[in-house]
Amino acid sequence: MQWNSLNEFLAMGGYGIYVWPSFGVTAVCMVWEVLALRRRHGAARAALVHPSGTMDVTS
Amino acid sequence: MKMERINWFQWSSPQALYPLAGKLIPWFAWWSAVCITAGLYMGLLVAPTDFQQGDSYRIIFVHVPAAWMSMFLYVVMAGWAAVGLGLKARPSFMMAQAIAPTGALFTFLALFTGAFWGKPTWGAWWVWDARLTSELILLFQYAGVMLLHASIDDLRRADRASAVLALVGVVNVPIIYFSVRWWNTLHQGASISMTAAPKMAATMLAAMGIMALGFWLYSAAVTLMRVRSIILERERHASWVQMERVS
């Protein structure tokens, strides 16, 4: 373990403002992609139940 | 183990790909979660502080795996595009179409995390360095492939046109990879080389490797998730898809 306290860990030796946005945005993007794909699959399946032909299933 | 003859063409229909992808997704997803958790633990808690860059170097644990995936996924996308063009196989085109957004996402992340590493290291968010510029071009290439596909209504023409564009653009990947050698610019050289001893501490290297493996598994999982949606959207009038309604 490299750190003696939580504050030291969050500070990242003074580079926290660069390190945490990098990890944070990466995490947000990857989680968002998974959620968006689950929504898209749900929508695609729903369009099969109601095959109106006019429904937008690409969103 | 007995060798069995595998009928590869068995998998060359959307109907076969859909359930196969469904079976593989949980496996890739769980192992990717395990690898990324282990990689974050090692990278953020165990790996030592770099003696030159301090703790800003820890960005490497997302930056390098994202950058590797951005290039790797482009090559895989172009590979599926080539198979699609060669065999006129719809699932291959669907795979190429499914990879593009994830490749674009990792290209964006490589650029974004690179900016947040460049600022403390070089003093600038962005420079028109050969590596950065060629990676930005890669982002435009992914966007181009996706936009071209979306802009053509006839799906068979859309598949073929975007496949040709993806294939032509593959020349940029070696340019990105070797840019740090061919041009003497700001971006540092490769952290890992096949021929030289690693320049990094063993724990740093291990954390980066595990994160890269985790990103690879993640990419496989989300690509298969996307290809399943693409299959349902494109084949929704096929009788087997209609059967999916009741399952």
Does a structural domain hold residue A20? yes
ipTM passes above 0.90: no
- Mutation for testing the B interface, residue in A1, A19, A38 having most B CBs under 10 Å: A19
pLDDT at B193: 65
Q: Are A52 and A43 in contact (CB under 8 A)?
A: no
Q: Tell me the mean pLDDT in the region B210-231.
A: 97
pLDDT at A59: 42
Contacts of B98 (CB under 8 A, 6+ apart): B223, B224, B226, B227, B230
Could you tell me how many residues make up chain A? 59
Q: Tell me the mean pLDDT in the region B141-149.
A: 98
Report d(CA B78, CA B244) in Å as an integer. Answer: 30
Does a structural domain hold residue A29? yes
Does a structural domain hold residue A13? yes
Domain count, chain A: 1
Higher pLDDT, B163 or B52: B163
pLDDT at B185: 73
Q: Are B129 and B185 in contact (CB under 8 A)?
A: yes
Q: In b/e form, how buried is each residue of B16-43, taking b as 16+ CB within 10 angstroms?
A: ebbeebeeebeebbebbeebbebbbebb
Closest C-alpha to B192, from B174, B206, B182, B175: B206
Supply the mean pLDDT for chain B.
Answer: 90
Inter-chain residue contact A48 with B236, CB threshold 8 Å:
yes
Q: Which segment of B63-72, B113-122, B149-158, B185-194 scores lowest on mean pLDDT?
A: B185-194
Report d(CA B209, CA B203) in Å as an integer. Answer: 10
Q: Which of A23, A37, A48 lies closest to B242 in CB terms?
A: A48
Does a structural domain hold residue A11? yes
pLDDT at B199: 66
Size of interface A-B (CB pairs under 8 A): 101
Q: Which of B66, B228, B241 lies closest to A26 in CB terms?
A: B66
- Phi, psi dihedrals of residue B50, rounded to the nearest 5°: -75, 140
Percent of chain B with pLDDT over 70: 91
Tens place of pLDDT for every residue, chain A, 59 residues?
A: 788 999 999 999 999 999 999 999 999 999 999 999 999 999 999 888 765 555 444 44
Tokens of A11: 């500070």
Range of the domain at A34: 6-49
Report d(CA A7, CA A19) in Å as an integer. Answer: 14
Distance from CA of B2 to the nearest CA of A (A): 38
pLDDT at B144: 98
Inter-chain residue contact B233 with A41, CB threshold 8 Å:
no
Q: Which of A18, A38, A41 lies closest to B120 in CB terms?
A: A18
Q: Tell me the mean pLDDT in the region B233-237.
A: 87
At B243, the pLDDT band (50, 70, 90 cuts) reads confident
Inter-chain residue contact B236 with A47, CB threshold 8 Å:
yes
Q: What is the pLDDT of residues B149-179, one digit of tens each?
A: 999 999 999 999 999 999 999 999 999 999 9
Inter-chain residue contact B119 with A18, CB threshold 8 Å:
yes
